[in-house]
Amino acid sequence: MNNPAFGDDTPVYVISVAAELSGLHPQTLRQYDRLGLVSPGRASGRGRRYSMRDIQMLREVQRLSQEEGINLAGIKRILELQREVAELREHIFHLHNEMEAARSAVSRRESGRSPGGELLPVRRARVTIFNTSPPPEQNR
């Protein structure tokens, strides 16, 4: 049964189950949490609750450590960069869609008017320039 309330990001697994699913010892999961590698959700009693995405991340941390020989500080940096890349890709995706919508609007407007006709509205932006250099001395 597929319940949309329980997606990949829903923290439902207690630490013992997450440890078994990831193939790691519960103490290793606690260490990864302390180091900020994989930070699970918390239940009302402050117990850790892992999501399926957390478990996948635990497996990836273990793979990078054992198969690639990367230390935990390096793994943490890799995970941070991967998150940043994912955020940037999402931002680019939205900007691309916005640009395509603007192109489409311009194309529709241009196809229905004569050359030199209607002007298109342009977004106005405020620009503040901070000049940190001292003012030039004036000769008298």
Burial label for 59, CB within 10 Å (0-12, 13-18, 19+), is: middle
Say if residues 70 and 64 touch (Cβ distance below 8 Å): yes
**Amino acid in the structure at residue 83:** R
Q: For 48, which DSSP code?
A: E
Would you state the pLDDT for residue 67? 96
Residues 6+ apart with CB under 8 A from 61: 32, 37, 38, 72, 75, 79
Would you state the pLDDT for residue 6? 74
- How is residue 23 written in tokens? 């193939």
Residues of the chain with pLDDT under 70: 1-5, 112-120, 127, 131-140
Question: Beta partners for 84?
Answer: none
Would you state the pLDDT for residue 24? 95
pTM for the full model? 0.64
